[in-house]
Structure 1
Amino acid sequence: MTKRIQAKYKSDRRFGQNLWGRPKSPVNKRQYGPGQHGQRRKGKTSDFGLQLVAKQKLRLYYGNITEKQFRKTYEEAARRKGNTAENLIGLLESRLDAVVYRAKFTPTVFSARQFVNHGHVKVNGRRVTIASYLVKVGDVLEIRDRSKSMAIVLEALASGERETPDYLEVDAKGMTCRYARVPQLSDVPYPVQMEPNLVVEYYAS
C-alpha cells in the first residue's frame, strides 16, 4: 500500500466521511477518527474550524492539491465574474485529471493524475501531460491508442461504482470525452456534501 493510499483512507476517517465514495473506505466500518484518541467526543467546532474543514475536504477530494495551487485556483475564481463559490467548483471540475476521472477512464482522481502525467491522454489531438491543465468547453479528450488496452482503463469503464455526469459526453467504446459545459455545484456528483461557500469565507477572512 502506497503512502498516498494510506493518507487517503486516513483522511476519510479524520472527516468521518467516505470522501470519494469508495466501497473499500474504512469509514464504512469505523466512523471515527484515526489513532488512539479517535473515538473521543469532539467539542463544538468554531466558524474558522468549519471553514478549514470545508477547504481541506475540497482540496483533498481533487487528489490532495497543494495548498499553493488550491489558493491560486481560488484567486482565479474570485477574479472571474459571478459567484466565486460556483466559479471555484467550475475551475476544479475543468482540471484535466478531474475530467479523466469523471469520464471513468480511471478509478480514482489520484490514478487520473498519474495517468495524465504519464502521457496517456490527448486533448484535441495533442498529448497533454499536465494534470492541472484547464479543459475548455468543447474540448475533446481521448485515450491514446496504445493506452486503450490498459487494465486500469478497462476496469474503470466497466465499473458500476459511479456514473458519468451529464456535463460530459462520453463515448466509452471509443474512449473519448467531450467537455460539454462547465458544471455548477448542484451538477457535480460528490459522494459527500461540499461547501465551497465556506472555502470562500476561509480565504476572504
Structure 2
Amino acid sequence: MNKLTKRKIGIKRKEMFNKKLAIQVGFSIILVALVILTKQMDSSFSKQFISVTEEKLSENIDPSTITGAFKNVVIGVRDKIPFLSKKDNEYTAPVDGKIYKEYGLSEEDNTSYYNHGVDIISNTQAVKSISEGTVVLVGNNEKLSNYVVVQERDKKIIYGKINETLVSKGDQISKGDIIGALSEDNKILHLEVWENGESLNPSKLFEISD
C-alpha cells in the first residue's frame, strides 16, 4: 500500500467517524418526520414503515444496520412526494459545505471581477472528483495554489486551492474518488468547469449539502 493510498484511507476514516456521530443525532429526527409524512398515506406501505420505525426507535440507533432495513421504505416515501423525488445526477458535489463566492461577476475590495468558478467553504478535508475522467494536469500557481485538472469528455474540471494533491497526471478516476485534501485551517475549494473555451457554472451540475 503506497503513501497516497494510506493518506486517502486515513481521510476517509476520519470523515466516516465524524459523519457517524452526526447521523446518530439526526437519524431519530428524520425518522419521526417520515412517520408524520407516511401517516398521511393510507396504504400498506405507510403501515409497514410506521411499524418498522417504531421498532427501531426503541433500540440503540446504529446507522449501518438501519440503512438496510429502511432503504426500500425511504425510497418509496421519496418517490411518493414530488418535491423530494429526483433522478440520479451525473455529477456529485466535491465537498460538503456551502458556496460563499458564486459564479459570475463579483466584487472584492471595491474591485469587480468575473469568477469563472465557485468557491466553497467545506466541512471536510477530502476533495472528491465530481465525475469520472482523466487527470491531465497537477500543478501549482499563485492564484490556485495546488490544483488538479481533470478531463471529462468535452469538459475540463479544475480543482484549486488544494493543500495536498493525492492523484498524478494520467490517473483514471471515478466519480467520488478522493483527489486531494484541503488545509485543516482553511478548508476552501475553488472549482471551475470549462467546455469549448467557455466557463460553466459548476453549481448547476450538482447540489451542495451543508
- Give the TM-score range, shorter chain: under 0.3
Mark the structure with the bigger radius of gyration: 2
Between Structure 1 and Structure 2, the one with more strand by share is 2
State the TM-score, normalizing by the size of structure 1: 0.27
Higher helix share: 1
Question: Whose RCO is larger (CA < 8 A, sep 6+)?
Answer: 1
TM-score, normalised to structure 2, is 0.27
